[in-house]
């Protein structure tokens, strides 16, 4: 009842693993995607066996290959003919499995560092277009996963219709404040156009929770300090500073925290470019 892609990004530092998924199913993000930094990612779907998620991650963390994990999960499962699963391991090896009794159209493909799979699809072109889009898209893993998901959706997706979608990306220290590996964890549980809605949420997420390598800090000279003070005054954060002194810094810190932009904060006499753009865009 679902189409998904599991993948890794060896060029990210640290490495990233992730899943994008969509379905005519309520809250597909609560069922299909499982991932752990340093181990890999698992998508369990069709007549989903939820135990495949945590058990698959444990096996990946123990160093098993994607193929070995797929075989180990499905082999002893008496209902494997109704299961579908995609796995990418710590080294980017990928494997996919589609049970013989999954509803048509059902199937999957693997490529370098990824696996795409789906069932009850409008046709094989859904998976084919996902693979092509992922391979041809540049950028970070989340962007490539979303592009692949959109391609599958535009190719027809789930032939019963649309309802939910999710995006999960993990990396060491990737969560809020560096406390978890959840670099991106977004869900659209019930929506008429879940994939475009997921993309909208991701745009907001990228503003509020940037990857460290995407931050761009600008020195605050007197001219820029005066501009920032004007923006802060209009936003209701009174400050009379004409240079980057403690008063301006405290006012800017309050503004950044209130607007949930604290992941773009620095104690240095600098302002992150997206914060400045955000200030300038406000009336």
- Whole-number pLDDT of residue 102: 97
pLDDT string in tens for the chain (283-residue length): 699 999 999 999 999 999 999 999 999 999 999 999 999 999 999 999 999 999 999 999 999 999 999 999 999 999 999 999 999 999 999 999 999 999 999 999 999 999 999 999 999 999 999 999 999 999 999 999 999 999 999 999 999 999 999 999 999 999 998 999 999 999 999 999 999 999 999 999 999 999 999 999 999 999 999 999 999 999 999 999 989 999 999 999 999 999 999 999 999 999 999 999 999 998 7
The answer to whether 177 touches 188, Cβ cutoff 8 Å, is no
206, with CB counted inside 10 A (0-12, 13-18, 19+), is middle
Identify the CA nearest to 90 among candidates 166, 164, 172, 165: 172
- Whole-number pLDDT of residue 272: 98
Q: Is 236 left (phi over 0), alpha (psi -120 to 50) or beta?
A: left
Assign domain 2-208 one CATH number from 3.30.70.100, 1.20.140.10, 1.10.260.40, 3.60.20.10: 3.60.20.10
**DSSP bridge pairs for 6:** 19, 115
> Could you tell me the residue ranges of all domains in the chain?
2-208, 217-281
**Structure pTM?**
0.94
Q: 206: helix, coil or strand?
A: helix
Q: Other CB atoms closer than 10 Å to residue 68's CB: what's the count?
A: 16
In sign, the C-alpha dihedral spanning 42, 124, 143, 280 is negative
Q: How far apart, in whole angstroms, are the C-alpha atoms of residue 175 and residue 31?
A: 21
- Whole-number pLDDT of residue 283: 78
- Whole-number pLDDT of residue 1: 67
């Amino acid at each position: 009842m679902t189409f998904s892609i599991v993948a890794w990004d060896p060029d990210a530092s640290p490495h990233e693993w992730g899943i994008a998924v969509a379905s005519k199913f309520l809250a597909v993000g609560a069922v299909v995607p499982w991932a752990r930094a340093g181990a890999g990612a698992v998508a369990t779907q069709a007549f989903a066996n939820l135990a495949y998620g945590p058990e698959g991650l444990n096996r990946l963390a123990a160093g098993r290959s994607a193929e070995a994990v797929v075989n180990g999960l499905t082999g002893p499962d008496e209902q494997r003919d109704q299961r579908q699963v995609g796995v990418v391991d710590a080294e980017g090896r990928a494997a996919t499995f589609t049970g013989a009794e999954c509803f048509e159209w059902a199937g999957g493909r693997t490529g370098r560092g990824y696996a795409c799979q789906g069932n009850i699809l409008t046709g094989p072109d859904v998976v084919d277009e996902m693979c092509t889009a992922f391979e041809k898209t540049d950028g970070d893993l989340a962007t490539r996963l979303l592009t692949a998901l959109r391609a599958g959706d535009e190719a027809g997706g789930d032939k019963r219709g649309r309802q939910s979608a999710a995006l999960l990306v993990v990396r060491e220290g990737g969560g809020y404040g560096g406390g978890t590996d959840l670099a991106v964890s977004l869900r659209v549980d019930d929506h008429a156009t879940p994939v475009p809605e997921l993309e909208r949420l991701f745009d907001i997420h990228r503003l509020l929770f940037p990857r460290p390598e995407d931050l761009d800090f600008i020195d605050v000279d007197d001219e820029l300090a005066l501009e920032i003070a004007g923006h802060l005054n209009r936003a209701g954060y009174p400050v009379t500073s004409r240079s980057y002194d403690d008063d301006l810094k405290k006012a800017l810190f309050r503004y950044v925290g209130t607007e949930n932009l604290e992941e773009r904060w620095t104690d240095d006499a600098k302002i992150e470019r997206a914060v400045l753009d955000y200030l300038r865009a406000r009336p």
